[in-house]
Amino acid sequence: MDDLDRRTFIAGTGVGLACAAVVTVEPAAARPAPPDTKTTVQLTVNGKIHTIAVEIRTTLLDALRNQIGLTGTKKGCDRGECGACTVHIDGRRILSCMSLAVMQAGRSITTIEGIARGAVLHPVQKAFIDHDGFQCGFCTSGQIMSSVALLKEARAGWPSAATENVSAPFSYDQLSAAEVRERLSGNLCRCACYPNIVDAVAVAARES
């Protein structure tokens, strides 16, 4: 009788759990829709304030291109490997595909469209043209934005992995071709225009 009772109990418990599972699972159509995840953010881009509504997961790159209409910043790998999406935040370069738009509210964003002074090109832009620092041009805006930033970094005395003595203050006149190559190593060029890019940056370093 005891064995029969145990079997009866186990069988009854299994049926009960199965019924509970069936009762508590809602069909997909009956589940509530996820809440609206959009938020309003103000982005200051090239000195102009843009108020846009974005999903909280929207990258700065997508906000710049798709909502503000500044398509000079390119989407290459979309995972922080190629450098085509480089912009400046408060004067420092970042990869815009790796940053959320909502993180940049209240900060100063500069894109490739904002580095010239009216009709006067930035010295780096002019040097890229004069020294054929591009071919297809897809990576060029990122290359230029990184080049502008690296000149500022060098003037500020920032060393790089190519600097022989990182414990000593870096001098701007130490900005050799090896230094430029190292400081631009995060920006890839499928057309392999690297020698011309380095030449362009070297010229811009003397003129800016």
DSSP 9: H
For residues 146 and 182, give the distance between their C-alpha atoms in angstroms, rounded to a whole number.
12
Phi and psi of 160, rounded to 5°?
-135, 180
Angle at 130 between CA 86 and CA 120, to 5 degrees: 70
The model's pLDDT over 67-117, given as tens digits with 9 standing for 90+, comes to 999 999 999 999 999 999 999 999 999 999 999 999 999 999 999 999 999
The model's pLDDT over 59-69, given as tens digits with 9 standing for 90+, comes to 999 999 999 99
Mean of pLDDT over the chain: 89
Residues 6+ apart with CB under 8 A from 85: 61, 73, 74, 75, 76, 78, 95, 96, 97, 142
Query: Please, which residues bridge with residue 94 across strands?
Result: 87
Please give the C-alpha separations between residue 139 and each of 42, 86, 130, 159, 188, in angstroms, as whole numbers. Answer: 27, 10, 17, 25, 7
Model-wide pTM > 0.85: no
Q: Which domains does the chain have, with CATH numbers?
A: 118-208 (1.10.150.120)
Q: Is 61 helix (H, G, I), strand (E, B) or coil?
A: helix
